[in-house]
């Protein structure tokens, strides 16, 4: 194990993941902990207790954190930085705690394509990681997709985050899976949100293409009516619904962002493959970047930017 | 109190409402009972126990029922009748129990505008009631809107139910209100689905018109981001979201059903007023028919059709 020099952490709403990193930026150990919604009011205490072993082994280490830990309910608020935002501006807006030994990366805000305020917190770090991992993203315009509970569609412009748009597809699907008669005759007893049928998901994508302009509000009931009409197996209902919803999300985003070229997906392997299939079904190429790797790369990149001895000038 | 001659009942998923009716079709008494989801496996027993007083006072009475009581999980299945369906066809497809003393009105099925199977159960009786209460609906084409958990958009053609489309707007809104961070920072603690701010609802309608083609999936997050950006009061969030969602539902339905003229809304006063405002905001007139009155009128109308001594011929 290399000598540990940094603790990097992604402290989201439902989970904390801490990485112990060596001087080369490799994660030599990890710890999982409770998310920000559980940590509420005791971030500092929780952080210290989780780090006891690492600190006793490696001495005091600086830490860089992102996610809901920087929200108004977090450890210390790191106010949203308005877009367009360059990596060095995001680094420069980090909030310092404990005399700079702990830094929190701010979220981003923008006025989105629908002229509404929009917000992200945590995803900005994955975007920075993607920019670091794939230098080609720093030139020209690129559309990124960060699928999750609240999927972020992000427009990169010459290495800066120009604007983004949030889609609630993931949350809607999770709510339906857990609670709705659309997905199950006995909602609450099932509630798995894992897509187990590629064929049913693909069928949802294909069906969407027949009426691409229809609102998802007018298509979701199909999941139930097809099931009751024996046109869809009960076990395939969730996957079919997911196909319809993700296709609608993708179609709307591609219409709003006229950006051409490959769409870069930053997320878990499972979600990335669903969005890749939906993009492909609508004639768009995509490339996937692992979300956890992007988070870590982004945390390390911001740490490096902040560790430069002189004024920051570009990435 | 006139002499009671009939028990009419709307036995939905979450509630049973029984009307004791006299020979003129006036409801002289009502009883509320548990919905079909609770009644499961003991419909007959529950029905008899709820009617003990009425029966002891008036003797044995025939009963006509609609709603989930006729589903495959109900008292006795009344299979969906395919559209187009005329009132007398719906009456003719009623299922008889107890030697014809209890009749259950069937639901309707159709191939909807998006070429998917669609289903209703309970709403067909409200439609029959609306046709009975408003003779003008029996001539020409009319678009009906039956707002609820699953809103039904119905095309009437010369007095027959030609086709319909289900929108999941109500269910989605209820799920979001109860469980989502879009509506509240502490979902679960609030969860009221009553719209308390007409102004915020109207603002949702107005905002929708600025980008009518945008997917609701890309607009729902606004409820949260506007709230966090102090652009929307916390207490107004649900109403604003409801405005966006209902406007999107209405817009999509008006696009799909090119029917002209006044839209007839059959539902509760509160939901009817929300849909009326959304229709008005998109330049369409509407007229409201009380949903409970329509249910009762439909039940009585079917009973009368079934009580005719000779073969049925028209309404």
The pLDDT value given to residue B129: 98
User: In chain B, what residues touch A171 (CB-CB under 8 Å)?
Assistant: 180-182
On whether any CB of chain A is under 8 Å from the CB of B206, the answer is: no
Q: Same domain for B274 and B303?
A: no
User: In chain B, what residues touch A248 (CB-CB under 8 Å)?
Assistant: 215, 217
In a domain, B96, yes or no: yes
In a domain, B87, yes or no: yes
**In this complex, do B249 and A222 lie within 8 Å of one another by their Cβ atoms?**
no
- CATH number of the CATH domain containing B103: 3.30.420.300
Q: Identify which of A176, A180, A217 has the shortest CB distance to residue B216.
A: A217
Residue of B nearest to A171 (CA): B180
Q: Identify which of B175, B210, B229 has the shortest CB distance to residue A175.
A: B175
**In this complex, do B222 and A168 lie within 8 Å of one another by their Cβ atoms?**
no
User: Is it the case that residue A1 has pLDDT exceeding 60?
Assistant: no
Model pTM score: 0.93
- Average pLDDT of B51-74? 95
The pLDDT value given to residue A144: 98
The pLDDT value given to residue B312: 47
On whether any CB of chain A is under 8 Å from the CB of B222, the answer is: yes
Residue A233's domain spans which residues?
167-290
In a domain, B10, yes or no: yes
Residue of B nearest to A222 (CA): B116
**In this complex, do A228 and B169 lie within 8 Å of one another by their Cβ atoms?**
no
Q: Same domain for A115 and A10?
A: yes
Q: How many Cβ contacts (< 8 angstroms) between chains A and B?
A: 141
Q: Same domain for B41 and B77?
A: yes
Q: Same domain for A92 and A113?
A: yes
Mean pLDDT of chain A: 93
Residue B23 C-alpha, separation from nearest chain A C-alpha, in angstroms: 38
Tokens of B152: 């039904």
Q: Same domain for A179 and A119?
A: no
Q: Same domain for A23 and A103?
A: yes
Residues B216-242 have pLDDT tens digits of 999 999 999 999 999 999 999 999 999
Q: Same domain for B200 and B127?
A: no
In a domain, A96, yes or no: yes
**In this complex, do A117 and B222 lie within 8 Å of one another by their Cβ atoms?**
yes
**In this complex, do B213 and A168 lie within 8 Å of one another by their Cβ atoms?**
no
- Write out residues 143-162 of A within 8 Å (CB-CB) of B: 150
Angle at B63 between CA B60 and CA B65, to 5 degrees: 160
Nearest to A203 by CA among A185, A227, A179: A227
Residue B86 C-alpha, separation from nearest chain A C-alpha, in angstroms: 22
Q: Same domain for B14 and B41?
A: yes
The pLDDT value given to residue B308: 77
Q: Same domain for B235 and B259?
A: yes
In a domain, A152, yes or no: no
Question: A315: pLDDT confidence band, cut at 50, 70 and 90?
Answer: very low
- Give the integer Cα–Cα distance in Å for A58 and A63: 13
Tokens of A6: 């940094």
User: Is it the case that residue A215 has pLDDT exceeding 90?
Assistant: yes
C-alpha B171: how far from its chain's center? 13
In a domain, B314, yes or no: no
In a domain, B148, yes or no: no
- CATH number of the CATH domain containing A282: 3.30.420.310
Angle at B313 between CA B308 and CA B315, to 5 degrees: 80
- Average pLDDT of A226-235? 94
- Give the integer Cα–Cα distance in Å for B153 and B114: 13
Per-position DSSP letters for B133-189, written without gaps between them = H-GGGGSSEEEEEE-SSSEEEEEEETTEEEEEEEE-HHHHHHHHHHH-TTT-SSTTT
The pLDDT value given to residue A194: 65
The pLDDT value given to residue A192: 54
**In this complex, do B118 and A171 lie within 8 Å of one another by their Cβ atoms?**
no
- Give the integer Cα–Cα distance in Å for A270 and B69: 41
Sign, CA torsion A35/A39/A45/A46: negative
- Average pLDDT of A309-313? 54
On whether any CB of chain A is under 8 Å from the CB of B198, the answer is: no
Decide: A44 and A76 in contact? Cβ < 8 Å: no
Structurally, how many domains does chain B consist of?
A: 2
In a domain, A160, yes or no: no
Q: Same domain for A128 and A15?
A: yes
- Write the ipTM: 0.92
On whether any CB of chain B is under 8 Å from the CB of A216, the answer is: yes
Q: Same domain for B128 and B45?
A: yes
Q: Same domain for B16 and B132?
A: yes
On whether any CB of chain A is under 8 Å from the CB of B231, the answer is: yes
- Write out residues 243-262 of B within 8 Å (CB-CB) of A: 245, 248-249, 251-253, 255-256
């Amino acid at each position: 194990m290399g000598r540990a020099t940094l603790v990097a952490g992604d402290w989201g709403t439902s989970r904390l993941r801490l990485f112990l990193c060596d001087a080369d930026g490799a994660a030599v150990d990890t710890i999982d902990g409770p998310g920000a919604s559980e940590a509420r009011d005791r971030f500092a205490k929780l952080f210290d207790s989780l780090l006891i072993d690492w600190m006793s082994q490696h001495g005091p280490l600086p830490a860089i954190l992102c996610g809901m830990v920087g929200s108004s309910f977090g450890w210390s608020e790191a106010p949203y930085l308005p877009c367009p935002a360059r990596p060095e501006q995001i680094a420069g807006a980090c909030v310092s705690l404990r005399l700079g030994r702990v830094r929190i990366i701010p979220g981003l805000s923008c006025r989105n394509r629908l002229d509404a305020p929009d917000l992200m917190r945590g995803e900005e770090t994955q975007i920075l990681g993607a920019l670091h991992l794939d230098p080609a993203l720093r030139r020209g315009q690129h559309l990124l997709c960060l699928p999750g509970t609240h999927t972020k569609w992000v427009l990169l412009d010459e290495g800066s985050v120009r604007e983004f748009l949030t889609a609630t597809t993931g949350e809607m699907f999770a709510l339906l899976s857990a609670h709705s008669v659309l997905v199950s005759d006995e909602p609450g007893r099932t509630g798995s949100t894992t897509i187990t049928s590629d064929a049913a998901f693909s069928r949802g994508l294909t069906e969407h293409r027949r009426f691409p302009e229809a609102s998802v509000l007018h298509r979701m009931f199909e999941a139930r009516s097809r099931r009751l009409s024996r046109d869809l197996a009960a076990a395939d209902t969730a996957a079919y619904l997911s196909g319809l919803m993700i296709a609608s999300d993708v179609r709307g985003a591609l219409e709003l962002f006229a950006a051409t070229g490959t769409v870069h997906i930053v997320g878990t392997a499972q979600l990335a493959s669903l969005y890749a299939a939906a993009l492909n079904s609508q004639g768009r190429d995509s490339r996937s970047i692992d979300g956890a790797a992007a988070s870590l790369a982004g945390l390390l990149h911001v740490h490096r930017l902040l560790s430069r001895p002189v004024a920051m000038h570009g990435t």
